[in-house]
Structure 1
Amino acid sequence: MSNTVHALTLPQDANLSGFLKVANSAPVLSAEHEAQLARQYRDNDDVDAARELVLSQLRHVIHVAKGFTGYGLPVSDLIQEGNIGLMKAVKNFDPERGIRLVSYAVHWIKAEIYEYVLKNWKIVKVATTKSQRKLFFNLRKARKSLSAMTEQETQDLASNLDVPVKTVREMELRMTSSDVAFDGRDSDDDEFSTSPSAYLPDMRYNPEEVVSKTQTSTNNKSALHKAIAGLDDRSKDILQRRWLSEDKATLHELAAEYGVSAERIRQIEKRAMEKMKGQLVA
C-alpha cells in the first residue's frame, strides 16, 4: 500500500483547523457503500475508493487522538499518527466479515498513537514491556492531580491491574521525573553545571579500560593462531587464503588448484572452522 499511503497522506502545510474542517465535513457512509468501496480497493487497488474510506473515518481519528492530549504531545502529531493507523486499517479491512470499518479501524488507530506516545513522551522510555505499557496508560488515567498518589490509590491501582505495589511506585517515579539533556548548559560556570556531560568521566582513555581491551585483543589473536596451527596443511592453507588474506581466493580457484570440486573445498573449510571453534571455546 506504499503508493496508496502517499496518495492519502494529507499535505504537510495543511493546518489543524483546516484538517478538522475536512474531517467533520466528510459524509458518513452507509454500510452498503462502505463495503462496496472496500471491495473496489481490495480487488482493483482503487486509490480513490481507499481515500473515500479514509476521509469518512477521520472524525474518529480526531476523537481518539484527543484522548491522548494529557501527555504533552502536539495534538496534530497524535492525529497524524492516528491517520497512519487508519490507513493500515483500510489496507487490511475485509468487508466480507460483516463488521463496520470504524469498529475495525479504532484498534489500529489506538495502536499507532500508543506507540508514538511511548516513544516520544520521554527521551528515556518509561515502559518497555507489555505489562509496563498497560500500567503506564492506566496510571495516567488514574492520577487525579499532579501531586503524588496516596498510598490507598497506589494499592487500589496495583490490585486492579494485578501488579505489585512496588511496580506502580516505580512507574510513577519514572513518569514524574524530568529528563536532563546530556550536554545541556544550565549555567555559564561549568563548575556548577548539572548536565551529565559535566561530571561523567571520559572512559575512552581510562588506563584500566585501555589495558583490558589490549589484553583481550592479544589473547584472542593468540588463541586464533594456536587454533589455526592445529590444522592440517591443506585446511590451514584454505582458511588463510579464504579469510585471512587481503586477496581472498574463491572456492572454485582453490578447487582447481587442489584438483577437487568446489563443494569439497567448502566441506574442508567448514570442518576446519568447526575444529577451530571447539578449540577456541574450550
Structure 2
Amino acid sequence: MQPQKATANVTGVPALQSAGILAYSAAIKRFDLLEPSREQQLARRWQERRDQSATDELVTSHLRLAAKVARGYKGYGLPIADLIAEANLGLVIAASRFEPGHGARFSSYAMWWIKATVHEYILRSWSLVKIGTAAAQKKLFFRLRGEIRKLAGETTALTPEMAQVIAGKLEVTVRDVTEMDSRLCGDLSLHTRVGDGDGSAEWEATLVDESPDAEEIVAEHDEVTRRSRALRTALEVLTERERRVFEARRLAEQPLTLEQLSCELSISSERVRQIETSAFAKVKRATILAARAGSEAMAA
C-alpha cells in the first residue's frame, strides 16, 4: 500500500512568461530557511499527527532549493515553469516521507526526490524521440551534453573521436552516442537530401526499420511488467533505512557514495556498506521468489 502523501498548494506553478517567473522567484524568497531542530519538529508533527501545516512549512521553506535545481535542467528545452512545478512535486513527496531522528537535513533528503521527479518529467516529455528506458540510456541522455563540453570546450559539435571516448565512459555504444546527440540537437526532416549528385536521396529512403515486431513488443512488455512487479514486491521486505540505501546505491541514475549516505543517515561508511549488502541479498531472494510465483501463476 502506498504511503499517504502530504499535499501543499505549491506544485501548480502556472505556465508563466519570464516576468511571471521573476515574480515567483521574488515571492518564494520571503519564506525563511529552517533550523535543523525545527525541521525535526515539523517532521514529527506530520509523522505522528498528519499535521498538514507542518509539511506546508517544510515545503515552502525549501521552494528556493527546488527552483534552483529546476533551473539546472533548462537546457532540455522545456518550460522553466513546468520544471519548477515538477521540482516542487518532488519536494512535497520528500516532505511526506522525511523521517525525523536520523540526523539528516531535510534539504539533503529532498534533493534526491526533486531530481527524480524532474528526471521523470524530462524523460516523459522526450518520449516522442524514443529515449531509451534502460539505466545506461538515461545516464547518456542526462550526461551527454556535459561530456561533450568537457572534451570540446566551448564548441558542442560531436566528433567520431569524442563519440568513442564518451561511449567508453558511459558504457554505451558509439551508435547510441551519435543517435542521442542527434535527438538532443533537434528533429531532422525526413525529406532532407543526403549524398551528392545523382547518388543523393531523401533521408527517409535510407532508413532501415529495426523496430521489433508486434509479438516481440508484447513479450518484452510482459517481461518488463513481471520484473517490475517482482522488484516492487521485493522492496517491501526492506526497512525504511535499507530501502533508502538500496535505492540510492542501486537504483539511482547517479548513485550516492558511501560517504554521502553516511552523512545523510549519521552512520559510518562501513555501516552503510553493510546495509547495502544485506538489502541487496534480501531483494535478490525476494525477487526470485516473486518471479517464481508469477511464473507458476501464469502456467496455471
Distance 1:13 1:157, change over 3 A: closer
Distance 2:33 2:91 in 1: 16
Q: Hey, what does 2:207 align to over in structure 1?
A: none
Q: Choose which of 178, 200, 206 in structure 2 pairs with 1:169.
A: 178
Distance 1:140 1:13 in 2: 26
Distance 1:126 1:24 in 2: 36
Distance 1:49 1:86 in 2: 13
Q: Hey, what does 2:59 align to over in structure 1?
A: 54
Q: 2:36 is aligned with what amino acid?
A: A
Normalised by the length of structure 1, the TM-score is 0.58
Q: Choose which of 16, 36, 39 in structure 2 pairs with 1:34.
A: 39
Whether contact under 8 Å (2:86, 2:121) holds in the other structure is yes
SS of the equivalent of 2:128 reads: coil
Distance 1:70 1:13, change over 3 A: closer
Aligned length: 183
Distance 1:147 1:99, change over 3 A: closer
Shift of residue 180, structure 1, vs aligned partner: 6.9
Shift of residue 8, structure 1, vs aligned partner: 4.8
What percentage of aligned pairs have identical amino acids?
Answer: 37
Whether contact under 8 Å (2:42, 2:58) holds in the other structure is yes
Shift of residue 159, structure 1, vs aligned partner: 2.0
Distance 1:51 1:10, change over 3 A: farther
Whether contact under 8 Å (1:16, 1:76) holds in the other structure is yes
Q: Hey, what does 2:279 align to over in structure 1?
A: none
Distance 1:148 1:159 in 2: 18
Shift of residue 109, structure 1, vs aligned partner: 0.3
Distance 2:188 2:95 in 1: 38
Q: Summarize the alignment of residues 86-125 of structure 1 with structure 2, pairs less than 5 Å apart.
A: 86-121=91-126, 123-125=128-130
Q: Summarize the alignment of residues 20-31 of structure 1 with structure 2, pairs less than 5 Å apart.
A: 20-31=25-36
Q: 1:32 is aligned with what amino acid?
A: S
Whether contact under 8 Å (1:81, 1:109) holds in the other structure is yes
Distance 1:74 1:88 in 2: 22
Larger Rg: 1
Distance 1:118 1:45 in 2: 33
Which of structures 1 and 2 has the larger relative contact order (alpha carbons within 8 angstroms, sep 6+)? 2
Shift of residue 115, structure 1, vs aligned partner: 0.9
Structure 2 gaps, min length 5: 191-201, 205-300
Q: 2:169 is aligned with what amino acid?
A: N
Distance 2:102 2:39 in 1: 13
Q: Summarize the alignment of residues 1-282 of structure 1 with structure 2, pairs less than 5 Å apart.
A: 4-5=6-7, 7-9=9-11, 12=14, 15-121=20-126, 123-144=128-149, 148-178=157-187
Whether contact under 8 Å (2:70, 2:83) holds in the other structure is yes
Normalised by the length of structure 2, the TM-score is 0.55
SS of the equivalent of 1:5 reads: coil
Q: Hey, what does 1:190 align to over in structure 2?
A: none
Question: What whole-Å deviation, never above 9, does each CA across 1:151-201 have from its counterpart, x for those lacking one?
Answer: 2221221122122223212322333341779xxxxxxxxxxxx9x9xxxxx
Distance 2:13 2:161 in 1: 49
Distance 1:60 1:143, change over 3 A: same
Shift of residue 108, structure 1, vs aligned partner: 0.4
Distance 1:90 1:172 in 2: 36
Distance 1:147 1:107 in 2: 29
